[in-house]
Structure 1
């Protein structure tokens, strides 16, 4: 029998944020608090993740969101996952990472795609996809579901790797081991397929100007250029300043367009991506539970 997760004591500053936020935004506080009590995912999670209560008062996902819109997004996210039959899966992912896919690289080394929920990257999303290579995490992507123009969509609010030289060398090694596939690009491909599996036509991508960075010192020292990365991936710029890519049902590499000496590696790269997509679909199908009929 698993032990009950430990409660995390709320810091005085967090209590102060909740008090001040509830005075400034009483209606949104009521909406969010009531939803938490009724949510099959969140109803007993505040003891472990007390920051979940106050996140509606702080910048979240995009600098363009008001408090009311933050509440809309968060409610839509958890309602969407519950209606899709993934409530138990998300609760499990809040305790420990769940495996979505395990790939074998060129060298035979394992590459894991994992999902965690609620507690990681909590200013930029509610779910976190992570690539783990030889036991070390390379990149993490924070994601959240909501509705945009009446359609469900998945938004990527953070794509981050470790900044040490050792980590950069690990990324270079992994790129070679993934048949010249950049790990960050592979993680975005996984996010696009995740969007497809949950019926979202688009993966939205936060831009440099809209990204969340509360700490001014950190903002001045951010080195990653999201706009450049999304442009290199041929993402489309949106009127709101963010970017979008279509969700992906299957990977595609034009093998015939490659130089003949690189086609063998191209086929292996495609096979690796297809294995990742297939395992993701199997993991999601196994996790999904049918909703009880009313």
Structure 2
């Protein structure tokens, strides 16, 4: 089998990465390129996403992974999605985001959950859940599927919003409009339900220590605190330094435990989350039938 990559227009620095990477990791280079050639999702995607050539040589998902582990995770991810019947859906999401569901906000504004693949947040995952509010992208979570103890699990390798002041104001506005649901929390709930729909358990969450940040300047200026976020979500710390949460079949709010004056708002919030979960389930079912 020909394991050479297809001819693509590569920048000199990318060509250098591939050249030296293939010298340092010849076995893993062959494994990855042979898999790409056979994959019904990836076989022609290196032309569109040339960085996928070299991603196995660079830090990916967690600082704890070596080249062989990166290849294992990437192959497992795409094999799983193909076996699950989502190849066409993922290929579509690599061209433009596919909408998972729409959400009716308190003000009457519309929010939406979208899924894109391959090109966004490519150091932290292969899929990207994005929250759109009033037509603007305000928050994103990068995801990848791999095996743990022989069973599929889903990992969140990135959770972040846009850095502009306008986007931060939209996040504050969206939080109020989504019945006091923070966009970051909403995306993690969506990721947990996505894991449930795919039969993945648990949901892993990258820690501050293990997160990917190649650029030293960017690392010095990171303000988001993943460990604090996961702890506030009652995630369980793991021996590898990451965190985990169970997948989620349905949202739950203990309405009766709340003061009576807050119950009406809580019921509306629960209805919003139930609509999100239902819309996601319908989208995944439709994608598998297509």
The two structures share one fold, judged by TM-score above 0.5:
yes
Mark the runs of 5 or more structure 2 residues left unpaired by the alignment: 1-6
- Structure-2 separation of matches of 1:215 and 1:289: 42
Counterpart residue number, 1:14: 14
- 2: CA distance between counterparts of 1:17 and 1:104? 46
Measure how far apart 1:192 and its partner are.
Answer: 0.2
Residue in structure 1 matched with residue 179 of structure 2 by the alignment:
179
SS of 1:28 mapped into structure 2: helix
The worse-fitting range, judged by mean Cα deviation, of 172-181 and 228-237 is 172-181
Offset of 1:9 from its aligned partner?
A: 2.7
User: Do residues 230 (structure 1) and 207 (structure 2) align?
Assistant: no
Provide the C-alpha distance between the structure 2 equivalents of 1:39 and 1:29, rounded to a whole number of angstroms.
15
SS of residue paired to 2:267: helix
Instruction: Using the TM superposition, give the Cα deviation of residue 149 of structure 1 relative to its aligned residue in structure 2, in angstroms.
Output: 1.2
Aligned to 2:84: 84
Q: In the alignment, which residue of structure 1 is the partner of 2:141?
A: 141
Q: CA deviation at 1:8?
A: 6.9
Structure 1 unmatched ranges of 5 or more: 1-6
Helix, strand or coil at the partner of 2:54:
helix
Length-normalised TM-score, structure 1: 0.95
Please, which moves more after superposition, 166-175 or 248-257?
Answer: 166-175
Distance 1:73 1:174 in 2: 34
1:188 pairs with 2:205: no
Question: 1:63 aligns to what?
Answer: 63
Aligned residue for 2:47, secondary structure, equals: coil
2:260, 2:93 → 1: CA distance? 43
**Partner in structure 1 of residue 205 of structure 2:** 205
Equivalence for 2:156:
156
The separation in 1 between residues aligned to 2:253 and 2:58, in whole angstroms, is 41
Does 2:254 align with 1:260?
A: no
Determine the C-alpha separation between the residues in 1 that align with 2:245 and 2:116.
23
* Separation of aligned partners in 2, 1:105 and 1:272: 8
Distance 1:13 1:289 in 2: 42
Q: Distance in 2 between matches of 1:169 and 1:289?
A: 39
For each residue in 1:247-274, what CA deviation from the matched residue of structure 2 results, as whole angstroms up to 9, or x when unmatched? 0000000001111100000000000000
How many residues align? The count is 284
- Per-residue deviation, 1:166: 1.7
Aligned-residue Cα RMSD (Å) equals 1.0
Q: Structure 1 residue 164: deviation in Å?
A: 2.1
Task: Note the alpha carbon deviations across 1:96-153, whole angstroms, 9 max, x for none.
Answer: 0000010110011010100000011000000000000001111100000000111100
Give the distance between the partners of 2:139 and 2:8, measured in 1 at CA.
27
What secondary structure does 1:288 align onto?
A: helix
Aligned partners of 2:32 and 2:73: how far apart in 1? Answer: 11
TM norm structure 2: 0.97
C-alpha offsets along residues 33-68 of structure 1, whole Å, 9 cap, x if unaligned? 000000000000111000111100000000000000
Q: Does the 8 A contact of 1:131 with 1:187 survive in 2?
A: yes
Q: 1: distance between equivalents of 2:41 and 2:167?
A: 34
Greater Cα shift, 155-164 or 230-239: 155-164
* Whole-angstrom CA distance in 2 between matches of 1:198 and 1:48: 27
Alpha-carbon deviations, 1:211-256, whole Å to 9, x = none? 0000000000000000000000000000000000000000000001
1:262-277 to 2 correspondences below 5 Å = 262-277=262-277
Whole-Å separation in 2 of the counterparts to 1:287 and 1:122: 23
**Stretches (4+) displaced over 2 A:** none
